[in-house]
Chains A and B, each alone.
Chain A
């Protein structure tokens, strides 16, 4: 695989809080990666170091073979759409489009026009008078029309209704099909985007909990139900992520050691259900604290003020 961006042993500390803790990963060129994890897991911080908005405390970040920080050549190839993006006070919607067109070398003005109509955005309306959802739509349109070789969306859907979110996903698939590029998408609405992802990066308190191909995850995760002892016997051979019991029966979320073992659960007398990405992420995130002590109480929203 060719990596569009690599992150090597990156640690990011803010006054007594470690937002990223020795993160090692790579973002495959031309793939859509889902950046998942609970609030405060480090998703936004990771995107900030990828886009040169922060310099990590230690470690190395490379995007298209160079460090992004204050590197104009690299930054032109990056479009970072964050939640609650702010624009200059006097900007109208069309001013934001014009400015983006000047900045991004591959800007697709036709696509931007189509998307403005799709999302029902009035071009002459001042951005500060837009509703929250419409503000998010402005960011989404810029992100899609930028055609930036590395496009990052950080929870871009705030305030968007279900119809507009569906529109975003559909237009993302279409734009990506026409011009494949590297996309990183952070979201809590995992089920809505699960089918779009080729790769999944799950963070938990600044560490990588899971870094895997989405298809192999689908193949390896399952939920088994049956007599407690049979479930436990089966779980011992695999990776037990989460278990609940009631009246002698257990339900367990399991990651198979080998996908081919899927059939062997039935042989143990267990009923098997597929486990979707959201259930897997919840199970893994819940399992994580036991291994590493109590969850830090520092709220993620404080990070902005600290730096």
Chain B
């Protein structure tokens, strides 16, 4: 949901991206309208529209005149590719920083990840 971190339009775009990545918003289906997003998240409709337009610019959504916004074919793959490239920065970096603070060497960390994977 919308929180205090960063601009709301970016968070709106992220929420829709998440829905596309996890498959709940399939390609070639209609994305929620700016008014629906505004009502649901209790935000300004202009801000919601800005978030949608950001995704149009990125090629994730496209407009069908008079109908609304739809998820582009290939959008999920495009988002996965971008998120994988951001993964190290967003998740590995803070993980390493905390590990360093606690004195956990990288090989122990690798063992922990392996252990977690096998226990699941």
Within 8 A of A (CB), among B1-15: 2-9
Q: Could you say which of B6, B35, B41, B46 contacts A198, with CB atoms under 8 Å apart?
A: B46
Let me know if A276 is at the binding interface, CB within 8 A. yes
Q: Could you say which of B34, B44, B50 contacts A197, with CB atoms under 8 Å apart?
A: B44
Stretch at the interface among A10-18, A151-159, A168-176, A299-307: A168-176
CA distance in complex: A195, B44 (Å)? 6
Chain A interfacial residues counted at CB < 8 A = 23
Let me know if B47 is at the binding interface, CB within 8 A. yes
Q: Is the CB of A173 within 8 A of B7?
A: no
Let me know if A74 is at the binding interface, CB within 8 A. no
Q: Could you say which of A31, A176, A197, A274 contacts B6, with CB atoms under 8 Å apart?
A: A274
CA distance in complex: A229, B35 (Å)? 47
Let me know if B88 is at the binding interface, CB within 8 A. no
Please, which residues of chain B bring their CB within 8 A of the CB of A275?
Answer: 4
Chain A contact surface mostly? helix
CA distance in complex: A30, B2 (Å)? 23
Please, which residues of chain B bring their CB within 8 A of the CB of A196?
Answer: 42-44
Let me know if A177 is at the binding interface, CB within 8 A. yes
Q: Is the CB of A31 within 8 A of B2?
A: no
Please, which residues of chain B bring their CB within 8 A of the CB of A169?
Answer: 42
Within 8 A of A (CB), among B59-106: none
Q: Could you say which of A170, A176, A180, A274 contacts B5, with CB atoms under 8 Å apart?
A: A274
Among A177, A178, A198, A274, the one with the most B-chain Cβ atoms within 10 Å of its Cβ is A177
CA distance in complex: A57, B86 (Å)? 57
Would you give the shortest CB distance from B9 to chain A, in whole angstroms? 6
Q: Is the CB of B41 within 8 A of A195?
A: yes
Q: Is the CB of A274 within 8 A of B4?
A: yes
Among B7, B39, B44, B46, the one with the most A-chain Cβ atoms within 10 Å of its Cβ is B44
Please, which residues of chain A bring their CB within 8 A of the CB of B42?
Answer: 169-170, 173, 195-196
Residue in B closest to A32 when the chains form the complex, CB atoms: B44
Q: Is the CB of A215 within 8 A of B39?
A: no
Residue in B closest to A223 when the chains form the complex, CB atoms: B4
Q: Is the CB of A219 within 8 A of B6?
A: yes
CA distance in complex: A214, B39 (Å)? 18
CA distance in complex: A30, B45 (Å)? 11
Residues on A lying within 8 angstroms of B by beta carbon are: 30-32, 169-170, 173-174, 176-178, 180, 195-198, 214-216, 218-219, 274-276
Not counting A177-B35, A216-B7, a sample of 4 additional A-B residue pairs whose C-beta atoms are within 8 angstroms of each other reads: A173-B42, A177-B39, A196-B42, A214-B44
